[in-house]
Structure 1
Amino acid sequence: MKILAIAGSNSDTSINKLLVTYAASLVPNAEVETVDMNLFEMPIYKHQREVESGVPQEAKDFAAKIDAADILLVSLSEHNGTYSTAFKNVFDWTSRIKDRAVWNEKPMLLMATAPGGRGGLGVLEAAAKRFPLHGGNIVDTFTLPFFNDNFDKTAQKVSNEEKDNELKEKLEKISTLESILEK
């Protein structure tokens, strides 16, 4: 099983990257690729730019990574209640690829974390509404509030036992779904 782990942040110290990397490590026998959003930096989407130059290769490369995966684990950082600019730009450009749904109906666990008590709930809600319109097959969602209290950076794992068990159950659900789809 191939997992594409996407952290919707271009921060070198992204807590969402820590969360999605940990989540991916919990799926047994999986081949995991973790996306670095910095590799997909491109000009800010503008219609005139698309008309003049077409869709950048970076957007096509991002789409190819989605296509090569069996399961998507997506953990989004929340900036002012919605996606980070880095993620939104990649999403916008990828949505402009002709005859393509961004997420290509791949089973997805949609996640978010933040230092505060809502745990990125705003971006999670925005994505849960938007992604299905772009081929997002969201199997489940997970939020980790109070990241600094509930994630052990040294051990690289969720330290809150209740939230860790919840994450494991949701990963089991998506992994089992993928196994069923393969048959």
Structure 2
Amino acid sequence: MKKILSFAGSNSSTSINQQLLDNILDRIQGHEITRIKLTDYPLPLFGVDLERKQGFPENLKKIHQLIREHDALIIAVNEHNGGPSVFFKNTIDWLSRLQRDFLEDKKILLFSTSPGKRGARSSLEYTKNILTRFGGEVIESFSLPSFKDNFQDGKITNEVFDIGIDDVLTTFVHQIDE
């Protein structure tokens, strides 16, 4: 049994990416899943002067330790104006300062959604590229477009997208089991 850490990159209490993530996590069997909310680990806006003056925040060390304790990560990536939210990017920036390869040997599954037809695909692609710089291996990714049209009452209503998510999950679970 592998240990999987999961979180959404959003700081919204009504995050649609968190809703999608919850649906996805409920499908995984046979692994220990830790669900966290990054909002429970607030970090100041990164700055070199702040780091120099105050060092690394305790919440950063807690997030880093959680990542180290898990074999894999499942992350739901939100999008603001074509990129990841400042909230999520700030977390990545801090983690990369604490340890450059903070994702070393971690297998990663990424999901995204948005109200629009692209399903936060730009943010998803950016995140796929940036996480590999820090040692992570992105096994699979999936973008769910038009959230309000394809997700209701905690379920994906479009059968094609639902099957697609199952396929991505199957591949991911197979890879972390190796």
* Aligned-partner residue type, residue 174 of structure 2: T
Per the alignment, in what secondary structure is the counterpart of residue 132 of structure 2? helix
Q: Once the 2 structures are TM-superposed, how far is the Cα of residue 70 of structure 1 from its aligned partner? A: 2.0
Which runs of 5 or more structure 1 residues have no equivalent in the other structure?
A: none
| Alpha-carbon displacement from aligned partner over 1:86-144 (angstroms, at most 9, x marks no partner) | 1111111111114x413233111111100000000110111122111111210011000
Cross-structure match for 1:44: 45
Q: TM-score if structure 1 supplies the norm length?
A: 0.92
User: Are 1:8 and 2:9 an aligned pair?
Assistant: yes
Distance (whole Å) between structure 1 residues aligned to residue 32 and residue 128 of structure 2: 26
Question: Number of paired residues?
Answer: 177
Cross-structure match for 2:157: 159
User: Are 1:34 and 2:35 an aligned pair?
Assistant: yes
My pick for the range that moved more, 34-43 or 116-125, is 34-43
Q: Once the 2 structures are TM-superposed, how far is the Cα of residue 31 of structure 1 from its aligned partner? A: 2.0
Cross-structure match for 1:144: 144
**Cα separation, partners in 2 of 1:157 and 1:102, compared to 1, 3 Å:** farther
Matches within 5 A, 1:84-99: 84-98=85-99
Cross-structure match for 2:19: 18
Per the alignment, in what secondary structure is the counterpart of residue 95 of structure 1? helix
* Aligned-partner residue type, residue 42 of structure 1: L
Q: Once the 2 structures are TM-superposed, how far is the Cα of residue 22 of structure 1 from its aligned partner? A: 1.3
Distance (whole Å) between structure 2 residues aligned to residue 50 and residue 71 of structure 1: 28
Q: Once the 2 structures are TM-superposed, how far is the Cα of residue 62 of structure 1 from its aligned partner? A: 0.8
| Alpha-carbon displacement from aligned partner over 1:128-177 (angstroms, at most 9, x marks no partner) | 2211111121001100000011112x2x1212111111111111111111
Distance (whole Å) between structure 2 residues aligned to residue 167 and residue 158 of structure 1: 9
Which runs of 5 or more structure 2 residues have no equivalent in the other structure?
A: none
Matches within 5 A, 1:109-148: 109-148=109-148
* Aligned-partner residue type, residue 133 of structure 2: L
* Aligned-partner residue type, residue 178 of structure 1: I
Does the 8 A contact of 1:101 with 1:134 survive in 2?
A: yes
Per the alignment, in what secondary structure is the counterpart of residue 23 of structure 2? helix
Does the 8 A contact of 1:41 with 1:86 survive in 2?
A: no
Q: Once the 2 structures are TM-superposed, how far is the Cα of residue 39 of structure 1 from its aligned partner? A: 1.3
Cross-structure match for 1:178: 176
Q: Which portions of structure 1, spanning 4 or more consecutive aligned residues, are displaced by more than 3 angstroms?
A: none
Per the alignment, in what secondary structure is the counterpart of residue 98 of structure 2? coil
Does the 8 A contact of 1:3 with 1:24 survive in 2?
A: no
Cα RMSD (Å) of the superposition? 1.2
Q: Once the 2 structures are TM-superposed, how far is the Cα of residue 17 of structure 1 from its aligned partner? A: 0.6
Distance (whole Å) between structure 2 residues aligned to residue 113 and residue 22 of structure 1: 12
* Aligned-partner residue type, residue 106 of structure 1: K
* Aligned-partner residue type, residue 12 of structure 2: S
